[in-house]
Structure 1
């Protein structure tokens, strides 16, 4: 049995892959929270288990309109699996009760209100002792095509909305991180994410969520050809070119990165159900995976000099839009845990 001495960052499994891209007409059904908690609890590699879970604050998992009593019941239930809670996904999209961050005054107000509800739940869970780390995930809740109609004006609106949401987060002792993906307007490239966060101007309060699979797609210029870093005829056998491009993305966004998803990507895009096409997540052991997970994670978890930043207190695995047949196999989560453990072995520390 290998010796795994590091105990930070903590290792979390994300619950939202049981919901994202599922439940819509023509899509696979939702996977219940209890099923995902059981699979997480049962995963084990060399005697190491998951420390916690990151949550989706939306039905059918946990309602964003939950009362404090509702949250106490959920908290006790999750604790019964021996798990802590970390980051949240706030349901800020129009179809989930929110609205576009660059939309009408009413839509933007609904966006901020959803963030407020999520922050309140976060505050309750901290008070209940189950949530030692983690903030709230957001995005622009806007499509790339709509954003392109007025790039400057729409980015300005998104930044204003994020600032208002950031003030709400501060009031509740929380912080926000926007997940840059090629499908979100104003956030579809590494440069656009930097520009947006600089315009928001709330370091320490509103930052970036780096997902290894999504951020790798930035190097290929999907939905933002002008920000492409690898040539159109790029040969995946040229590992040095990928390393250099991916490090440039991480260097630009690392300062703003407050949440981190370990993930694998095969260099393609994929959508499921009502979710727009974005970077495809593939299994940790997929032979077509383009990332060296442990190596490339270090681009985010270490600074330019190679020193650990220790900013990221827990790692999460994101398997969004995995087929249900894959997600309900215990081996999937053992493999995921094994990949995350390699990241912690390489870039973790002891407290």
Structure 2
């Protein structure tokens, strides 16, 4: 049995919110997500912590100090810690107006303040602030060069704000965000930002669709006639993808994908998050995580202190089953056993 105790194993709280709401299923409160996370156990191993979206109805981003204390108390009561935070920047699309970009920067600042208070309390020992462009690929495509410049300029301003709080920002690799909708667009954006506290958040489901060129056919990595039975070609594609983006990766979501896009509620279609045990899953989760967690020589990068399972837009019936989270924890343990380390 592996003795690896790093990276730490986290669950996400935002799957109780993303894709839920008036035009979908009811929200699942963060308290319930914490209970399900804390109750999961596999061979005596439990989750170490949670990553938190700062947009749950019970989280007030406009009251960082008191809000952080309340959240810390809730999380600590379950014996968990907090890692990465998601800044609620969607009210200020980067490719909107000047005023929209001001809202974006303000939300980044509030998220960083929130994160700083959590660190001071002692509940957040590691993690980053996650952002995206909050803009559609269609908007970006109207002027790729000009819009990439706007995104980079705004992200640089956000990096300056984050630096005031000792935070790093991670841009999420998800096909529904303009300027990060393909692996080449994402790479162009990161290179244009060129800040030491700007990195990439890889998600094994969302980022997987970079291989297929959704929203950017010209950037497709796998051949157009690719068959899923061709595992060797899939692995070569994963190597191409991860060799390009791994050097930028500072936050990592373990997930499964069946090669399709999916959206519920008001959430745009993006990489479908599948259950860890989904028979239609195209990824060998534990093996393929290694393409992100090990360098080209096969050495563990130790680029992040924790890994997080992201399983958005699962039906509530599935999310309320404790077995769902036990299976997810088991998948994370396998990843750590194969690609982790001991401290």
SS at match of 1:282: coil
Q: Assess if the C-alpha contact under 8 Å between 1:102 and 1:161 holds in 2.
A: no
The 5 Å alignment of 1:178-217 reads 178-203=171-196, 205-217=197-209
Q: How does 1:166-181 map to 2 (within 5 A)?
A: 166-181=159-174
In structure 2, the residue matched to 1:86 is: 83
Deviations 1:178-197 (A, max 9, x none): 10111111111111111100
Corresponding position of 1:5: 3
Match of 2:14 in 1: 16
Return the alpha-carbon distance in structure 2 between the equivalents of residues 278 and 260 of structure 1: 17
Residue in structure 2 matching 1:258, options 247, 250, 265: 250
For 1:258, what is the secondary structure of its paired residue? strand
Q: Which runs of 5+ in 2 are unaligned?
A: none
Q: Counterparts in 2 of 1:83-122, with a 5 A limit?
A: 83-94=80-91, 99-122=92-115
Match of residue 330, structure 1, among 297, 322, 326: 322
Aligned to 2:30: 33
Distance 1:67 1:122 in 2: 8
Distance 2:243 2:195 in 1: 19
Which secondary structure state, in structure 1, belongs to the residue aligned with residue 32 of structure 2?
helix
Quote the offset at 1:20 in angstroms.
Answer: 0.5
CA distance in 1, matches of 2:67, 2:202: 31
Cα distance in 1 for residues equivalent to 2:66 and 2:246 = 38
Does the Cα contact within 8 Å between 1:102 and 1:155 map onto a contact in 2? no
Once residues 109 and 248 of structure 1 are traced to their aligned partners in structure 2, the CA distance between those partners, rounded to angstroms, is 36
The corresponding residue for 1:300 is 292
Other structure's SS at 1:222 match: coil
User: What SS does structure 1 have at the residue aligned with 2:133?
Assistant: coil
Could you tell me how far apart the structure 1 residues matched to 2:67 and 2:126 are?
21
Q: Deviations over 1:142-191 (max 9, x none)?
A: 00111111111001000011000001100001110010111111111111
Structure-1 separation of matches of 2:69 and 2:225: 54
For normalisation by structure 1, the TM-score amounts to 0.96
Aligned to 1:218: 210
User: Which among 142, 145, 151 is matched to residue 144 of structure 2?
Assistant: 151
Match for residue 76 of structure 1 among 73, 77, 92: 73
Q: What is the TM-score normalised by the length of structure 2?
A: 0.99
Q: How much does 1:118 deviate?
A: 0.2
Cα pair 1:45 1:334 within 8 Å, conserved: yes
SS at match of 2:259: strand
1:283-335 CA distance string (max 9 Å, x none): 00000000010111000101110001111100000001111111110000000
